[in-house]
Amino acid sequence: MKPRRNYVCTACGGVSVRWQGQCPRCGAWNTLEERLETPAPAGGRRAPAAVAGRPGAGMALALGEVDISAQPHVSAGMRELDELLGQGLVRGSTVLMAGEPGVGKSTLLLQVAGAVAKAGHTVLYASGEEGLPQLKRRAERLDCLADTLLALSTSSAEEVWQAVEAAGNVALVVLDSVQTVVSSLAEGLPGSVSQVRAVAAEGIDLARRCGCCLLFVGHVTKDGQIAGPKLLEHMVDAVLSLEGDRTHCHRLLRVLKNRFGPSLDVAVFAMQGQGLAPVEDPAALFLESRAGGLSGTALAMALDGQRAFALEAQALVSRSWLAIPRRTALGLDVNRLHLLLAVLEKRLGLSFGQQDVYAKVGGGFKLQDPGFDLALCAAILSSQYDQALPEQAVFFGEVDLNGRIRPVAGQEVRLHQAKRLGLHPVFAAPGVPQAQHVSTLASLQEALFGASGRGGRG
């Protein structure tokens, strides 16, 4: 049949019949690439095979009669990872783990593969990025070698699927990574939209047919988004994101999607010589190196997913010699810093027009929690007046444009963690039990600095 000429967006996978500078689907510029596709002949589709818990093609079952005993959970060897996924790895499921280069994706998955293999299951680790000698040296360092841990170094998806079927009852397959493997059923270079889509579709079909759990490793773009079509995240059952600053030893494993358990949860790991080790008490992790008696710092009880962390909000307000003062934020949105500075100026009579303001979340943590507002404002005021805050004081609450303190989600969890860590007093919005209530920024200023802070320094 005559080939059909289409233009496919490398960012979202959208298809257009003609080339244009901007993708009509996602709005990205200069991402449309030409593709020649041959239409499949009529009746050329392969009928789906019957799998465990499902009837054959064209048959339906009552949902209550579906057998789920053929999809047992397999422990990943780490309690924290099992809790993130629900009850562990599910046979027949697919999981995508993404992260920046060097953050520890391959290390963590090789540890998981070794733990599952040592539990008596057959595991296949297929790598399109590393050779077998390199994999063995890393496995020896991580103490992951086992008789049932099989390894394959190839960039062919067909070779991976054949190895899985030849190995028999495989419990776990790790594909590192989906952007480096090529399928013969699609055109394009490795990592292109068509190749990623084809490899993922074949892998999902294999996982359901063979009853194994398939773990994809995914690359990310310079913006931190998962590379490839957005369809990839929709196709898999769970999406994990491994985050962290490579200059720090701590890593955060975040669940972005999970069909078998909770989502938006997070686990903390520490990078060590023997791999990634779970942190036993992540709530107090960032308090170990904190020094008291310094201005410009405030403790925040922040919520990330379902966990509360005691984090340090750091701020520095200093005289500016520039025509336009600097505004720098690390670990939080700089637009939120601009907003809070405008509220402080308007509601407290302060002036930051001739001052540089720097804000940071201690420990390399990245936050989007609105409950961090109150602690950041307290740190800015502390630096402005050059007065240290009470060392064990902790803050959480959202600041609105009128300077009022609003309650935030998870207040019970935050308060419980603050009590467990012995942090007191707790500054929060009215309505939080056993806390020192501050309803506005003016009342916060009065409670922390008294008459010395009244009226600002502007």
Where are the chain's structural domains? 4-37, 72-279, 285-451
> Does 177 show up as a binding residue in the annotation?
no
> Does 296 show up as a binding residue in the annotation?
no
Residue ranges of alpha helices (H) inside 211-333 are 231-235
**Average pLDDT score over the chain:** 86
Answer yes or no: are the C-beta atoms of 366 and 331 closer than 8 Å.
yes
> Does 158 show up as a binding residue in the annotation?
no
What confidence tier does 146 reach under pLDDT thresholds 50, 70, 90?
A: very high
What confidence tier does 178 reach under pLDDT thresholds 50, 70, 90?
A: very high
> Does 41 show up as a binding residue in the annotation?
no
Q: How far apart are CA 379 and CA 201, in angstroms?
A: 50
Asked whether residue 24 carries a pLDDT value surpassing 70, the answer given is yes
Collapsing DSSP to helix, strand or coil, 405 comes out as: strand
> Does 106 show up as a binding residue in the annotation?
yes
Asked whether residue 190 carries a pLDDT value surpassing 90, the answer given is no
Instruction: Give the CATH number of domain 285-451; options: 3.20.20.70, 3.30.230.10, 3.40.50.970, 3.40.50.10440.
Output: 3.30.230.10
DSSP state at residue 388: P
pLDDT of residue 440: 96
Asked whether residue 243 carries a pLDDT value surpassing 90, the answer given is no
CA nearest to 428, candidates 393, 402, 452? 393
**pLDDT, tens digit, for every residue of 315-335?**
999 999 999 999 999 989 999
Instruction: Give the CATH number of domain 72-279; options: 3.40.50.300, 1.10.569.10, 3.40.50.1000, 2.30.30.60.
Output: 3.40.50.300
Q: How far apart are CA 323 and CA 335, in angstroms?
A: 20
Q: What integer is the mean pLDDT of 229-240?
A: 90
List the structure tokens of 42: 């009529």
Of 143 and 224, the one with more pLDDT: 143
Q: How far apart are CA 36 and CA 194, in angstroms?
A: 11
> Does 100 show up as a binding residue in the annotation?
yes
Collapsing DSSP to helix, strand or coil, 190 comes out as: coil
Collapsing DSSP to helix, strand or coil, 237 comes out as: coil
DSSP string for residues in 37-105: EPPPPTT-SPPPPP-TTS--TT----GGG---TTS-EE--S-HHHHHHHSSSEETT-EEEEEE-TTSSH
CA dihedral 121, 215, 145, 150 (to 10 degrees): 70
**pLDDT, tens digit, for every residue of 44-100?**
444 444 444 455 555 787 888 877 766 678 899 888 888 888 888 998 899 999 988
Q: Is 166 exposed, middle or buried (0-12, 13-18, 19+ CB in 10 A)?
A: exposed
Tally of CB atoms within 10 A around 400? 14
pLDDT of residue 280: 78
